[in-house]
């Protein structure tokens, strides 16, 4: 049972990229970015930097570093990777230039498969969401990259119950994300939009009602690009409480000329399957 609780802990804290939405924009753009994750039990601290291009609702991110939120599942820590998001985030493609491998999958389908895998191992996972997701306009934010920002706070919460062999464990998770949006940057595909709540939205893939609530809450956000966000996640259960912080920020913006071949998988690369073990297929030692 202890192993399954460790699996569940990783599962609810390691899928922050799985619900990124692409928004149609009028022109091609390029962004530099940085992401930093705090350390937590079984999860090391990490920092990544990268360059993203967006075109026609598509996103390509070339990433260097060790932030777990941007890591390729199953890849060695610190491997440079390329992440391509198509179909408004319904298709994710990870490319590892070092190993000449790639994986392609639908995030929600992958989460459903993981739950079925757990059930096949004799475990069940039940998700209950503690109220509707909440969006607040906090007021003016700081000036970032010469752009005035508005400060929005998104709060979500859920409870996960894991059962196996007559034993049951409950984990409570809450997430608060402070996002700083630039109203003068409109109609752009935002490479980070919705990451604050997707860590729970993705795990609730089978809960259509909750996803509808989540979408309704996100619709309250203005048509403005996110330039910085700080997300704090609290996970508590029988083994104690863990607090994690993730900071993501745009460090540069410019117009770009983007070509279709930037969203194509190299023909010589080999496809690999998405590891079904949470946390990139690896379970940390006891």
Residue 209 banded pLDDT, cuts 50, 70, 90: low
pTM for this model (two decimals): 0.81
Backbone region of residue 100 per phi and psi (left: phi > 0; alpha: psi in -120 to 50; beta: other values): left
Q: Is the sign of the CA dihedral 278, 215, 34, 107 positive or negative? A: positive
Annotated domain spans of the chain: 2-271
Q: What is the mean pLDDT of residues 138-159?
A: 94
Scanning the chain, the segments in alpha helix (DSSP H) are: 2-13, 107-120, 195-201, 208-218
| Per-residue model confidence (pLDDT) at position 80 | 92
Dihedral pair phi/psi, residue 173, rounded to 5°: -130, 135
Examine the pLDDT at 10 and tell me if it is beyond 80.
no
Is residue 79 within 8 A of residue 256, CB to CB? The reply is: no
Q: Inform me whether the pLDDT recorded for 15 exceeds 60.
A: no
Q: Retrieve residue 86's tokens.
A: 């198509």
Opening angle at CA 82, ends 202 and 108, nearest 5: 15
């Amino acid at each position: 049972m202890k192993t399954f609780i460790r699996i569940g802990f990783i599962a609810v804290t390691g899928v922050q990229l799985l619900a990124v939405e692409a928004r149609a924009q009028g022109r091609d753009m390029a962004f530099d970015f940085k992401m930093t994750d705090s350390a937590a039990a079984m999860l090391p601290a990490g920092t990544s930097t990268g360059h993203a291009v967006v075109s026609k609702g598509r996103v390509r991110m070339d990433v260097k570093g060790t932030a777990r939120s941007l890591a390729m599942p199953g890849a060695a820590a610190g491997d440079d990777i390329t992440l391509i998001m198509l179909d408004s985030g319904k298709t994710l493609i990870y490319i590892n230039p070092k190993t000449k491998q790639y994986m392609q999958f639908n995030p929600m389908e992958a989460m459903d498969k993981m739950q079925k895998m757990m059930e096949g191992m004799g475990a069940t996972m039940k998700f209950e969401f503690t109220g509707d997701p909440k969006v607040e306009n906090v007021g003016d934010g700081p000036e970032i990259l010469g752009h005035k920002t508005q400060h929005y706070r998104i709060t979500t919460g859920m409870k996960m119950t894991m059962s196996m062999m007559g034993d049951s464990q409950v984990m409570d998770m809450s997430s608060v994300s402070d996002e700083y949006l630039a109203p003068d940057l409109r109609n752009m595909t935002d490479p980070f939009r919705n990451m604050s709540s997707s860590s729970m939205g993705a795990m609730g893939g089978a809960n259509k009602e909750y996803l509808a609530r989540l979408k309704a809450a996100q619709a309250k956000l203005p048509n403005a690009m996110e330039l910085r966000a700080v997300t704090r996640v609290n996970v508590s259960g029988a083994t104690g409480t863990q607090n994690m912080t993730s900071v993501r920020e745009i460090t540069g913006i410019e117009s770009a000329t983007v070509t279709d071949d930037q969203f194509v998988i190299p023909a010589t690369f080999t496809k690999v399957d998405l590891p079904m073990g949470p946390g990139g297929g690896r379970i940390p030692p006891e």
